[in-house]
Structure 1
Amino acid sequence: MSSTSSSGVRAEQIWLDGRLMKWDEGHVHLMTHALHYGLGVFEGIRAYKTHDGRLAVFRLREHVRRLLDSAHIIMLKIPYTEDELFDACVNLLRAQKDLFANGAYLRPVAFMGDGAMGLGAVNPTRTAVTAWDWGAYLGDKGIKEGIRAKVSSYTRMHVNVNMVRGKITGQYVNSILAKREAVLAGYDEAILLDISGFVAEASGENIFQVNKKGIIKTPPLSGPILDGITRDTVLHILRDSGRTVEEVTFTRDALYITNEIFLCGTAAEITPVREVDNRQVADGKPGPITRYVQDMYFRIVRGQEPRYADWLTYI
């Protein structure tokens, strides 16, 4: 059995630069360029135990494609094809299937390796996939009862400051600072506004709200938000149920007087928000649309909704 970390059980093996190796052998040099300058890309992917006892990765193909797109945006050349990266994720889990019988969190990452230093350096790209057992990112209680959020003093970076379609390692310093500020102030999560003052996203999640007229809204992709795969899943769930979702901008005070708010992301899954800036959201409990999305999401990832079967890759 592998040892455990603060995140729970970790993989006994990792995939690094084309081969499986023991976890403790996955080293990079101190002079790795990405360590100094933050030039790398990553993904977060979940595998779930399905209703029939199998293990399935959720929307693996879409995550691998976004990893490659992110790398292309920052001109980082990954020396593996989409299929090779797809197979690396599958083979890593297959090699230790018993260890992750109840599910796993996968972390593919690609970054500029060691060699030359300086901002203009171009070194070989290192590519890896790791896995561990990671529970609800914002806590099981948060999933069930909702969390407390704070609008951050940090602004989500402008589209001319960062590449918002890329899941780029160095850009997450912005989110880390916002998250730490919120947690130190006694909240669970931060909500960042864009440079114009409109709601953008949380530190690591997209955001949805349901106003008092029952209209579901989420910030548009024309703003500085990540094109979240879980966000896309939620849009499918809602629209396939006949509900209309408006992808529009809205202000922070719209959150204060709305009926429901929830965050979504691979790590956070579907997490309700019960309070923003010390203002209770409606009755302070997850609302009916949030509960519907939660229920459908977990049914889908557990293989209980045949119409979404193509989103699952069984191990």
Structure 2
Amino acid sequence: MAIQASKYIWKNGELLPWQEATVHVLSHAIHYGSSVFEGIRVYATPEGPAAFRLQEHIDRLFDSARIHRVPMPFDRDALLKACEQVVVENGLDSAYLRPIVFRGYGGLGVVPGEDVETEVVVAAVSWGRYLGEEAMEHGVDVAVTSWQRPAPNTVPTLAKAGGNYISGSLISSEAKRHGYGEGIALSHDGLVSEGAGENLFLVRNGVLYTPPVAASILGGITRDTVMHMAAELDIEVRELAMPREMLYLADEAFFTGTAAEITPIRSIDGITVRAGGRGPITRQFQDRFFGLFDGSTADRHGWLTHFSRPMNEDQEIPHVANAV
């Protein structure tokens, strides 16, 4: 899915013009996947642009860096401010934010030397529905792929690290080669794990099922949001190790994630979910979730961080490094 370039990117404490935010080809992260990152949605609300669960995303970024022992040259407050800056100064009403922390230029060893510095970038772009606009109502057709998620004590899946997404790429591309919209992976023990880049929920007999974090999944922030909403709706949630065949017995199924938001699943391995697509419980979650951004759902948890309204085109950007 193509992205639309913005004017500026925040890099190592400065705003740079989009085309100047470059990385050396011998950066450690390019060769060894030594990056950690986040995806954060900013929604247009009646009060202006608002980031969804910004603090939790930045906290997870620091957690991922801690797991991989990547030194962080900026504190949380600096990154929170950088997220706001790239939205406001790019004049965006809504956006997809990509903070990324990576090991930069230095030696070629697998273990980075002390001379390899950490670089930090925050980009803001306009990006639509990850699995397509139509899928939000009608659902997406998915397939279980031959690629499994990493086993415990191999690659830490609770870290949102760049190298982990080689797995997701294989899962998704195999499914798409066979005509499906997305792939689902099993864990090392053959039990249900997650989508290529999404967490997974099933509905059966009014109960919500989702694999536990021990199933080689990323502990998703949208996943956590759905679980909070389920409690408010008096819907039982069971984190459960699930055999593959439970996928075929679902009344409803849906993906969650920052990019995917809450996307219904229409069929799995050619078997249509019993609701035939988006079911009533999935719709309830969608309505409650998207209602946060138009004001129809109260933000009881303080999940929205409101930014200043975007600047007019004729306003001057206060500081841009190397601007021409």
Normalised to the residue count of structure 2, the TM-score between the two structures is 0.92
Within 5 Å, give how 1:144-163 maps onto structure 2. 144-163=137-156
Query: Post-superposition shift, 1:189?
Result: 0.4
Structure 2 unaligned runs (5+)? Answer: 308-324
Identify which of 226, 234, 259 aligns with 1:234.
226
Cα contact 1:261–1:281 (8 A) shared by 2: yes
Instruction: Find the counterpart in structure 2 of residue 85 from structure 1.
Output: 79
Match of 2:311 in 1: none
Shift of 1:53: 5.1
Deviation at 1:153, TM superposition (A): 0.2
CA distance, structure 1, for counterparts of residue 143 and residue 300 of structure 2: 34
> Does the residue aligned with 2:213 lie in a helix, a strand or coil?
coil
Query: Which residue among 276, 287, 290 is the counterpart of 1:298?
Result: 290
Whole-angstrom distance in 2 between the partners of 1:89 and 1:62: 13
2:201 is the counterpart of 1:205: no
Query: Aligned pair count?
Result: 305
Q: Is the 8 A contact 1:14 1:128 kept in 2?
A: yes
Of 283-292 and 35-44, the range deviating more from structure 2: 283-292
After superposition, residues 164-179 of structure 1 pair within 5 angstroms as 164-179=157-172
Aligned residue runs from structure 1 range 108-127, under 5 A:
108-122=99-113, 123-127=116-120
- Is residue 254–residue 264 contact of structure 2 (8 Å, CA) maintained in 1? yes
Q: How does 1:39-50 map to 2 (within 5 A)?
A: 39-50=34-45
What one-letter code is carried by the residue in structure 1 that aligns with 2:33?
A: G
Question: For the structure 1 residues 162 and 87, does the alpha-carbon distance in structure 2 shift closer, same or farther, using more than 3 Å as the test?
Answer: same
Alpha-carbon distance between aligned partners in 1 of 2:76 and 2:202, rounded to the nearest angstrom = 34
SS in 2 for 1:222: helix
**Separation (CA, whole Å) in 2 of partners of 1:199 and 1:301:** 32
Cα distance in 2 for partners of 1:41, 1:233 equals 22
Equivalent residues in 2 for 1:60-71 (5 A)?
A: 60-71=54-65
1:6, 1:173 → 2: CA distance? 19
Could you tell me whether the CA contact under 8 Å between 1:303 and 1:312 is conserved in 2? no
CA distance in 1, matches of 2:59, 2:200: 23
- CA displacement 1:182-202 (0-9 Å, x = unmatched): 001000000000011111100
Deviation of residue 6 (structure 1)?
2.2
Moved more, 303-312 or 177-186: 303-312
Give the aligned partner of residue 30 of structure 2: 35
Q: 1:314 maps to what in 2?
A: 306
Determine whether 1:128 maps to 2:124: no
Shift of 1:309: 5.6
Question: 2 CA distance for matches of 1:96 and 1:34?
Answer: 27
Structure 2 Cα separation of the partners of residues 304 and 62 of structure 1: 23
Matched, 1:264 2:256: yes
Q: Which runs of 5+ in 1 are unaligned?
A: none
What per-residue deviation string (whole Å, max 9, x for no partner) do you get for residues 209-264 of structure 1?
011x2221001122211000000000011111111100111111111011000000
Q: What does residue 288 of structure 1 align with?
A: 280
Q: Deviations over 1:9-49 (max 9, x none)?
A: 33200000011111011011111111011101010000001
Structure 2 CA distance, aligned partners of 1:29 and 1:154? 32
Matched letter for residue 256 of structure 2: C
Runs of 4+ aligned structure 1 residues displaced above 3 Å come to 301-304
> What is the alpha-carbon distance in structure 2 between the residues aligned to residue 233 and residue 54 of structure 1?
22
Q: Aligned letter for 1:32?
A: S
Distance 2:139 2:52 in 1: 24
Residues 158-209 of structure 1 deviation map (CA, whole Å, 9 limit, x = unaligned): 1211111100001110110111000010000000000111111000000000
Q: Give the Cα–Cα distance (whole angstroms) in 2 for the partners of residues 257 and 73 of structure 1.
A: 37
Task: For 2:136 and 2:275, locate their aligned partners in 1 and report how far apart those are by CA, in whole Å.
Answer: 16
Check if 1:17 corresponds to 2:12.
Answer: yes
Instruction: Evaluate the alpha carbon distance shift between residue 302 and residue 63 of structure 1 in structure 2; reply closer, same or farther with a 3 A threshold.
Output: farther
Q: Structure 1 residues 71, 108: closer, same or farther in 2, change over 3 A?
A: same
2:131 corresponds to which residue?
138
Identify the match of residue 52 of structure 2 among 58, 69, 72.
58
Q: For the residues of structure 2 that align with 1:47 and 1:295, how far apart are their CA atoms? A: 17
Q: Which residue of 1 aligns with 2:70?
A: 76
SS of 1:128's equivalent? Answer: strand
Could you say what secondary structure the match of 2:61 adopts?
Answer: helix
